Amino acid sequence: MQRDLLWYLASKRLRPDHDMMDPTVVDLVERWNALHKEGRFSALNVREYWRIKVPEIYSPQLNCNCLRITFDEELAQKLLFDPLERFMCGGDPAQVFQMVKQLDTPPSLCGRVFKNGDPTYGCRDCGMDPTCVLCAECFKNSAHSKHRYKISTSSGGGYCDCGDKEAWKSDVFCDIHVKGQMVQQSQNPLEKLPPDLTERIHLIFECILPYAKELLTYEVVLSIPKDLEIRESDREPTNLSSLYDIRDTYVTMLYNDETHTYDQVISTLERAIECTHKDAVAFATSIDREGRCIVRCSSFQQCSQTKSLMEKQTSRGGGRPLKVQVMDTYIIAHQIFASRLLTWLHNILESAQAFRLIFSDIVNKDGGSIVENIIWTDTNMWKTARVQWHRLFISGMLMDQESKKLFARTFTKHYSKMMKDFILDDHDHSVSVASLGVQLFTMPTIAHMLVAEEDVLARLLNTFLSECDKKLRDNKLALEHRSSNTSSFRRIQYILYDLKYLLGVKPEIWTDDLRRGFLHGYSLLLRLLGMMQGMDPMVRQVGTHMEYEPEWESAFNLHIKLAAVIPLVIEWAASDRIVLIKAYRLLMKSLGELGTEATRRRYVRELLDYSVSCIEYDVSSAPVSIHLPLSRLVAGLTLHLDRYGLNYNSPEFLVKGKPSPEELMEPVLRTQVMIAQVHAGMWRRNGFSLINQIYFYHNVRCRQEMLDRDVMLLQIAATLIDSNEFLVHLLNRFNLMNWARDDYEIIYLRGNDEDNMRQTVVLVEEYLQLVMTVVAERYTPGIGQVEEEDRIKKEIIQLLCIEPMPHSVLNKALPEGTNHETGMEKVIDEVADFKKSSGATKGYFDLKKAYYSHYNLFFYHYTREEQSKSEVGQRARKKAAGEEECCPPPVPPPFTVPFTMIVNILQCDVFLHIIKTVLKRMSETKAQSVSESQLQKVLHLIGYALHEEERYHRNSDPYFHFTRRAQKINLLALLEGLVGHHRTSTHKDLLAWTIRKYRVVLNLSSDISKPAHETEAVLASTSSSEASAASAEKKRRAVIATQRKARIMAKMASMQQNFIKTNETFFQETPSTEQPVDIPESTPMDLTERLPEDMIAIGPRQTLAQPLDVTYTCILCHQEDAVGQGDGTTGRPMVLGGLIQRSTVLSRNRTCHLEQPENHDPLLLPADLHWGVHTSSCGHAMHAQCWQKYFDDVVTKERRRPYRFRQNLSFDIEKSEYLCPLCESLCNTALPLLPGVTYTAATIQSQNPAPTKSTIPIAEWLKGLHTILKYKTVVMSGVRPDEEGSHQDDVQIDQTPQRGAVPTSGVVVAHGTVSLPATANSMGTGGSAPILVVGVTGGGGASINVGPSLLRQVQGEGGLRGRPPRWPRLPLNKKHKKGVDGKEEEEDYSSCAEGIWTPPTLPTVAVDLMSVSSPEAAEAFTDLFNNPAATTMPTFPSQTSDMMSSFAHAVYMHGLGVNPNFSSRRIPLMVWDTAAYTIHTLEETQRNASRALLTSLSSRQRDCLAALVKFAAHVPLCVKKKQNIEGAVVRLLSVLLEGGETTPCVLEWDAFSILVTLSLGLPSVFPNIQGLAIGSVQDLHLLQVCFLAHLVQLLLTYEEQSTCTEMKVVDKTSETNQESSSSTGNGDAAWLASLLVHCRTLANLPAVNVEPQNLLDYVKESCLPFLRCCGLFFHFLTEVPAPEELQSSVWVPESEFYCLLRYLGLAVNHLKPTFSDPGLLELVNRWCSDSRVGPLVTGAGSEGCVRSWTRINQLVSLPHDYSELINTVSQFPCPASSGDDSRTPTMCLVCGKMLCSQSYCCQTEFPEGSHQMVGACTYHAHHCGAGTGIFLRVRECKILLLSGRIKGCFVNPPYLDEYGETDQGLKRGNPLHLDATQYARLHTMWLSHAIPDTIAHTMESNSSVLATEWQHL
Ligand SMILES: [Zn+2]
Ligand SMILES: [Zn+2]
Ligand SMILES: [Zn+2]
Ligand SMILES: [Zn+2]
Ligand SMILES: [Zn+2]
Ligand SMILES: [Zn+2]
Ligand SMILES: [Zn+2]
């Protein structure tokens, strides 16, 4: 409904002033003007007018269709808006608007409000924070598009920050908005406005706003505000409007909420208002979008009834019912008008600044009472009403700095109330007024103002705390999991986001107000943290397990939100000395207040000479918590004290109850000890809650404010406590005081408690680890002398030491700063090399060699898995490089001054005592309390001490002297004593390193002259060579491959085992046919090397070799069997798993679809290949019997599975799908493996070395064919139109026709009847109605009697009016009922529209041929069909025949998508079609990859095609009735040789498909003769005819411009070739040119200028695909080895052209001789003179014919830059709902159509009448891709694959970022660019029909619990 103002203004200008105005309006405005002059005009006048006019225009009508309520908007404009505008402007609105607009400086702020799904762009280089975003328009025109931008999609509500100086560090303006900046804001535009105009605008705005507010929040639904009521007095005698009558018109209004699901709402509506499902969906969609919807408009009683019905239904089960109201229609009218007014106002505000200033003036009057009012009533409104107000605030106030401040103040004042309303509300945050917080608080000046002047921090926190107070238990927050008010606590946490926004930028200048405001908020934050300190405490469970898992997630969720705030608080506090001191004092006080008597209890612990007063506590029995935010805040603040010359002991911090250093670290230490105990297995009974908490404590998402702060705090404590005492405190807390005693082992042995000992060993390890962390982890700025970048570098080095990582993985493993930045980009190039992606693997980062020496094995962020993985990796790397196999500690950076004290730990007595204890016990064989890990850690600690001493030595600082102190414990001797000890073997290299290092350091003190760096060099662990790294990677891959292989083998073995088990009897019965293994397997292709170049596949010169047996291994029983002997008896029958799918992939005409598969005549493929059936196979062979068993098992298993689990399957058992047992490829049939066809022929040839092949000339052969046609019989029959729909062909399954169904009429037409076929006879006698028989040539004796109209029907002479019939809809003879009956006739013929065609017998033809030609010709012709080579049939075992019929039927059923019908006459035709289509596909895939015909064919492609072609050759053997074959062949011959109106013309056939069908069918054309295609001379002739037909197609569609560049290039490069063939080539060119003229003349086409050479080039290029198809077909049919050139790695099209001519037995080097026979010219004449040819050639689009014969279908071309793509869809409206944006715009990559996916609005019932709704993609895929689809979900950047209605998957999009990674769902947001390789891969997948298989594999590999309902996408 939003009106664009520009349009609006334009329309204004067009309208003549005044004349068009309604006279009443003129009066009205004049009246108002008069009142205004008197100063008496007020809102009341306007309301008085609206009172009557608004209900007139906007009332819904009684019993109207609620889905299509429309109002007369034109009238509304005239009567309602015109007066407002005219009065407001005091004249012509258009002029005034123009004038006001001109006062405006061009806008320097964009402020475009985002809708849900709009793309937004942030800049990582310039954005102040991640909320600063640009709209697409500004982004495109800004400098940021060249920066590191981030793209994401808006969830609605925000606006574009372009031009906001506080949002961008640089490039604040885009090119559009910079113009606004350049013009100086001279003065307030209001001052230039005439005062009268300002006043009028004021008056109107002041009138609109309260009205809209009142009406949109109107709560009393049954009556209307008093002053808007229609009164009795309004009834004028002249006014007949029903408005004033007493009325009973109400509406039932249904509201949106977030608790009820779509489906609940839909089903409620279906029942309550009894609407259709479709309408209910429409209602639900509208409710979801608008927030409410009128569902009934009726009497009060009816509306109330509906209301209570809906409430009852939706409150079932005790839930809150849906909100339903019965409302007065007048209220509705006013509400609709109010909403229109807001839109009107919004547009006006957007148009000019003056309007905005006036608006701001009004709403901020009286301290913002209007704003306040609206904020307070926000949750009383429905969704769209709220959004309208919010939009108004944005357009009216947020564009201007001063107004924005005013608004921000009002907003802050009412924040608390607003949030409390929001908690109780049930709408999303994004439609709450509270969501405007982000717009205000992210602006630093406003934020600082609010903190200083409005106490915003305290307001926010108080609101939050008031909610927390409700959840206190023992003064701690206790968040229950499933309590009823968790949702309110979840909602209140939005406050924490606002808090984060406010603190986003720290102030540069502090004022006292700011300090006060900040510290007030801070003190409340401390209260909150105090509530969290120690929350969710855990007590170690002993004895029994925990009964239930305690809740932990809520606390962590709260932590994560606070963790974003706390660093900002620290940053603020640290930026001002006064604030810092006060904050630290407050913190110490808070901590002090938490202390109790119990926490102060001490006892004394003694070790060596040290007595330490320790805090009494036992972690293993008392409660411990992970949540210690107050303690951690101490760590955060303490780090900044030094900057102001402060420290913990400064007098400023002397406060009562200030905790001592021990007390400070105590809580943190307890947590550490608890975790250590968990590692020691002491907390096993505490369940997963604890494990999860510890996991997150360490995890990158939480650790910054957990683990990291804890380590910091311990390090701080270590500087404050004496080192010896510190270590004792730790020891005591770890409960290791006893362990540290020298006599521990002896005392322990007496106790003999093994469990305890194992725990102690681990605890010591943990203790050592903790000490090491405190001493060695120094990569925190403030602790070590490092910068932030060093910290990141360290993290990256440690991560890459685990393994090389892709960018995304690395990025995820790094902690994010407040700006969602990891800082990785700044440093990554320094430490790592990026290895580009290759093929399927992502690009990844590899650590630079120099940095391996930085590797710290005990890095504190490592998980245990990462630690061991990295250690294994690094040791392996060193071993490969021939280095010591150990990872000694790296040199850490030096501590900062305040932390220097920590190093003292490494030389203190207790430390030395501890390492001595470990080393000594290590050397005692019987000591049990030590471990290798302890030794390793101790050695590391010594290493650190030595590093440190070295550093101190270099600085000539005598303070640290480890070696001297270590003499006390005789450390060197201890270490040397361990060398060679069996317990130290794992770490012998490390031990050696330590001793060596020790000696070096020792020498330093004595030998000062030695330069230090030399020793460093000795010790520096250099990294390995690149070669070794590469070989490691190779090895890794090899290992993976081996593992994979092993898995598959294991799977196979187990499968085989199971299989043999279940088939035990079968295997015992079957004699083993295993052959000796050493016989080399050979396939026909192996012969190529030995054979001469000129192989010829067909014709009289055919090269034949004895086909060899091919042996297959059954993947199920692992036995081998041979297939291939002519008799087919050796070996048991075998099959390949196969997949048959309908396809439109090759379609050259996307407007054409196969609409009625039930009636489709598959006689031949259409020239545009708009549909076809593709067969594929994974090439895995199985015994037919094994397969059957396997398949039956699958079916039984699936049938037993509960229905609800079936949805999840990757295969659809209802469509007889299954997965290949070996490779899990999708299959839906089994393709029988049959012997070759040339077996007999080859045998005969080898027996008669001089073959006496009688080659029949093509002319004679054609005569023979014509003779067949001459004597054919055609019985036309048909069904009545009303019967047509019953699809009898496909419904009846193996059902013998009912005898009673005797046809009432029928007709037999014979062109020639030598002897009438039996069928015709039987019909003649069986039919009760007269049967008409026509004899054209009086040969037979049958009586002939035919009506003339009937003849026309058959011959098609004007039988149909108008446009000639279009292929493929063959004319149906509808006027006559079926005339077929018959004892042996089956139901199949009932719908055989094209009639029953019967050939004559061979003798008949021979006799006739003899008379018209010669006896020799007759003999030769007879021999073609009679010779033993072609007619010796293999005898298949019955099982093979069964498999054959079953496969043939599967092709029919799956290919057409029809019901089973084993006797359909279309079965053999479908098999031949699929063979042709599959060959076409393979040819295109090869050509697409620029490959020669047979180059790099995979074995699965080869096996599949070989089996398919052989099967197609044998298909006549397995059809139920051979007459079907005969009939089809005769029909096809008639199409080819006779033509006629009823058959498709030459431009409508696919010439190759005719060739396939005729080659395979013609040998069986005669009754009683079963023949095979063997590549005989007949095949050659057929090829000649079909090739000629194709040439005619090419010539007819030739366009001079289409010069074939590719061939030309080839010509130029091979000059000699051209020279030598120029004479012949020219001959061809001239011949083709004359043929072209000839054809075009016949077709009545205008003459064209032809350059013969161009024409020849064109023909050679264009007919190559046809020849390639023929090559493939005859290669796999005859098994004649192909010349090497067809398999060469370089594809030279022209030479392949000649090569194929030779291979196909055609005239080599020129075309003309092949077609020189006059008989062929006659055919050309017939084809071209068809009256339809001309119009087809000249026609365009779907009316035209195929023109580009070589085009390979591509997926739609996508823009290079992804943002371009997403911008184009940002405005894509849902086609089903008017004007609304689609949420999931999805593009079909096949045709480019944009769809509104995964949305109720665009679901369609499919199949019609099934009551099943499918999504837009599924529906589209059905038509566009015959059920298979490939889509791009644009907003999420995901590729969606769909197949077979219920299956689908997502795969990687072809868009990659600079790191070669995809970004599904735009989670990373990096700029994405189209990757041609990836897209080509998708294209190949689509082109090779691999989508269903890809889906099956993907679904199989990730079986998620939650099934996606793919059909709804
Ligand atoms: Zn913008
Ligand atoms: Zn801009
Ligand atoms: Zn930028
Ligand atoms: Zn088997
Ligand atoms: Zn397989
Ligand atoms: Zn839609
Ligand atoms: Zn499409």
Helices 383-393 and 277-290 cross at an angle (nearest 10°) of 30
Q: Decide: 741 and 620 in contact? Cβ < 8 Å.
A: no
- In terms of DSSP bridges, do strands 1794-1796 and 1785-1788 run parallel, antiparallel, or are they unpaired? antiparallel
Q: Which residue has the higher pLDDT, 884 or 1125?
A: 884
Alpha helices in 1643-1717 (DSSP H): 1652-1662, 1664-1678, 1693-1703
Going from the Cα of 109 to the center of ligand 2, the distance in angstroms, rounded, reads 7
| DSSP single-letter state for residue 1537 | I
Going from the Cα of 262 to the center of ligand 6, the distance in angstroms, rounded, reads 15
Going from the Cα of 1766 to the center of ligand 3, the distance in angstroms, rounded, reads 20
Sign of CA dihedral 638, 639, 641, 646: positive
Tell me how far apart the alpha carbons of residues 1123 and 1134 are, in angstroms, rounded to a whole number: 8
Nearest one of 324, 329, 255, 241 to 288, comparing CA atoms = 255
Burial bucket for residue 1778 (CB in 10 Å: 0-12, 13-18, 19+): exposed
The DSSP element (H or E) to which 698 belongs, if any, is helix 687-698
pLDDT of 1407 over the 80 cut: yes
Q: State the pLDDT at residue 1756.
A: 93
Going from the Cα of 1384 to the center of ligand 1, the distance in angstroms, rounded, reads 78
Nearest ligand (C-alpha, residue 1787): 7
Nearest ligand (C-alpha, residue 289): 6
Nearest ligand (C-alpha, residue 285): 6
Going from the Cα of 1357 to the center of ligand 7, the distance in angstroms, rounded, reads 39
Contacts of 1054 (CB under 8 A, 6+ apart): none
Nearest ligand (C-alpha, residue 113): 1
Q: State the pLDDT at residue 1279.
A: 41
Taking all residues of the chain, what is their mean pLDDT, rounded to a whole number?
A: 81
Going from the Cα of 391 to the center of ligand 6, the distance in angstroms, rounded, reads 24
pLDDT of 528 over the 70 cut: yes
Residues of the chain by 3-state class (helix, strand, coil), percent to 5: 55, 10, 35
Q: Decide: 227 and 337 in contact? Cβ < 8 Å.
A: no
Going from the Cα of 1485 to the center of ligand 1, the distance in angstroms, rounded, reads 46
- In terms of DSSP bridges, do strands 1306-1312 and 1813-1814 run parallel, antiparallel, or are they unpaired? unpaired
Choice among 420-434, 474-488, 1462-1476 with the minimum mean pLDDT: 474-488
Alpha helices in 754-848 (DSSP H): 754-776, 788-802, 807-813, 824-831
Tell me how far apart the alpha carbons of residues 149 and 156 are, in angstroms, rounded to a whole number: 20
Tell me how far apart the alpha carbons of residues 1355 and 1334 are, in angstroms, rounded to a whole number: 12
Q: Decide: 1175 and 1508 in contact? Cβ < 8 Å.
A: yes
Please tell me the number of Cα atoms within 13 Å of 1485 on its side-chain side: 24
Q: Which residues surround ligand 2, an ion (CB under 5 A)?
A: 110, 138, 162, 174, 176-177
Going from the Cα of 1023 to the center of ligand 5, the distance in angstroms, rounded, reads 45
Nearest one of 1510, 1485, 1542, 1481 to 1163, comparing CA atoms = 1542
Q: Any idea of the CA torsion for 745, 750, 752, 758, to the nearest 10 degrees?
A: -20
The DSSP element (H or E) to which 1551 belongs, if any, is helix 1551-1561
Mean pLDDT of 843-858: 91
Going from the Cα of 1774 to the center of ligand 6, the distance in angstroms, rounded, reads 4
Going from the Cα of 1775 to the center of ligand 6, the distance in angstroms, rounded, reads 6
Going from the Cα of 139 to the center of ligand 2, the distance in angstroms, rounded, reads 7
Choice among 643-657, 1254-1268, 1379-1393 with the minimum mean pLDDT: 1379-1393
Mean pLDDT of 1333-1358: 36
pLDDT of 1334 over the 60 cut: no
Q: State the pLDDT at residue 1734.
A: 85
Going from the Cα of 1779 to the center of ligand 6, the distance in angstroms, rounded, reads 10
Q: From residue 1199, give the alpha-carbon distance in Å to each of 757, 1203, 1213, 1491, 1846.
A: 56, 8, 8, 45, 17
Nearest ligand (C-alpha, residue 281): 6
Tell me how far apart the alpha carbons of residues 831 and 842 are, in angstroms, rounded to a whole number: 19
Highest mean predicted confidence (pLDDT) among 198-202, 300-304, 1248-1252, 1555-1559: 1555-1559
Choice among 19-33, 115-129, 429-443, 1643-1657 with the minimum mean pLDDT: 19-33
Q: Decide: 1802 and 1775 in contact? Cβ < 8 Å.
A: yes
Amino acid letter, 1559:
S
Q: From residue 656, give the alpha-carbon distance in Å to each of 345, 573, 645.
A: 60, 22, 22
Q: From residue 1590, give the alpha-carbon distance in Å to each of 1290, 1469, 1492.
A: 34, 21, 21
Q: Is 241 helix (H, G, I), strand (E, B) or coil?
A: coil
Q: What is the pLDDT of residues 1456-1466, one digit of tens each?
A: 888 888 888 88
Nearest ligand (C-alpha, residue 1135): 4
Q: Decide: 1659 and 1594 in contact? Cβ < 8 Å.
A: yes
Going from the Cα of 1831 to the center of ligand 7, the distance in angstroms, rounded, reads 8
Going from the Cα of 1773 to the center of ligand 6, the distance in angstroms, rounded, reads 8
Q: Is 1377 helix (H, G, I), strand (E, B) or coil?
A: coil
Nearest one of 1808, 1634, 1792, 1795 to 1724, comparing CA atoms = 1634
Tell me how far apart the alpha carbons of residues 852 and 858 are, in angstroms, rounded to a whole number: 14
Q: Decide: 931 and 758 in contact? Cβ < 8 Å.
A: no
Nearest ligand (C-alpha, residue 1137): 5
Nearest one of 172, 126, 129 to 149, comparing CA atoms = 126
Highest mean predicted confidence (pLDDT) among 1012-1021, 1050-1059, 1180-1189: 1180-1189
Tell me how far apart the alpha carbons of residues 707 and 635 are, in angstroms, rounded to a whole number: 11
Q: Decide: 1530 and 1268 in contact? Cβ < 8 Å.
A: yes
Instruction: For residue 1017, count other CB atoms closer than 10 A to its CB.
Output: 10
Q: Which residues surround ligand 5, an ion (CB under 5 A)?
A: 1178, 1180, 1220, 1222-1223, 1225
Tokens 């306040």 -> residue? 372
Q: State the pLDDT at residue 1038.
A: 62
Q: Any idea of the CA torsion for 1825, 1829, 1830, 1835, to the nearest 10 degrees?
A: 120
| DSSP single-letter state for residue 1439 | H
Q: Is 1906 helix (H, G, I), strand (E, B) or coil?
A: coil
Burial bucket for residue 1056 (CB in 10 Å: 0-12, 13-18, 19+): middle
Q: State the pLDDT at residue 1609.
A: 39
Q: State the pLDDT at residue 1237.
A: 82
Going from the Cα of 158 to the center of ligand 2, the distance in angstroms, rounded, reads 15
Contacts of 268 (CB under 8 A, 6+ apart): 310, 313, 314, 322
Instruction: For residue 782, count other CB atoms closer than 10 A to its CB.
Output: 17
Q: Decide: 415 and 459 in contact? Cβ < 8 Å.
A: yes
1758: left (phi over 0), alpha (psi -120 to 50) or beta: beta
Going from the Cα of 1825 to the center of ligand 7, the distance in angstroms, rounded, reads 7
| DSSP single-letter state for residue 1025 | P
Amino acid letter, 4:
D
Q: State the pLDDT at residue 1206.
A: 54
Going from the Cα of 1015 to the center of ligand 4, the distance in angstroms, rounded, reads 70
pTM: 0.77
Q: What is the pLDDT of residues 1656-1674, one digit of tens each?
A: 989 999 999 999 999 999 9
| DSSP single-letter state for residue 80 | I
Tell me how far apart the alpha carbons of residues 862 and 865 are, in angstroms, rounded to a whole number: 8
Nearest ligand (C-alpha, residue 1133): 4
Mean pLDDT of 252-270: 85
Q: What is the pLDDT of residues 1864-1884, one digit of tens each?
A: 888 888 889 999 988 999 999
pLDDT of 1349 over the 80 cut: no
Going from the Cα of 113 to the center of ligand 3, the distance in angstroms, rounded, reads 21
Going from the Cα of 1080 to the center of ligand 4, the distance in angstroms, rounded, reads 21
Nearest ligand (C-alpha, residue 145): 3
Nearest one of 1483, 1472, 1524, 1488 to 1677, comparing CA atoms = 1472
Q: What is the DSSP string of 358-400?
A: HHHHHHTHHHHHHHHHHHHTGGGS-HHHHHHHHHHHIIIIITS
Going from the Cα of 1805 to the center of ligand 6, the distance in angstroms, rounded, reads 14
Amino acid letter, 474:
D
Q: Per the omega criterion (within 30 degrees of 0), is the bond before 804 cis? A: no
pLDDT of 751 over the 80 cut: no
pLDDT of 108 over the 90 cut: no
Q: What is the pLDDT of residues 1093-1137, one digit of tens each?
A: 578 888 888 887 766 677 888 999 888 887 755 444 557 888 999
Q: Decide: 1492 and 1682 in contact? Cβ < 8 Å.
A: no
Q: Decide: 1272 and 1399 in contact? Cβ < 8 Å.
A: yes
Q: State the pLDDT at residue 1437.
A: 82
Q: From residue 398, give the alpha-carbon distance in Å to each of 159, 373, 1195, 1607.
A: 10, 18, 65, 65
156: left (phi over 0), alpha (psi -120 to 50) or beta: left
Nearest ligand (C-alpha, residue 1222): 5
Here the tokens at position 402 are: 């001063």
Going from the Cα of 112 to the center of ligand 7, the distance in angstroms, rounded, reads 33
Q: Is 415 helix (H, G, I), strand (E, B) or coil?
A: helix
pLDDT of 671 over the 90 cut: yes
Amino acid letter, 1469:
L
Tell me how far apart the alpha carbons of residues 1547 and 1544 are, in angstroms, rounded to a whole number: 8
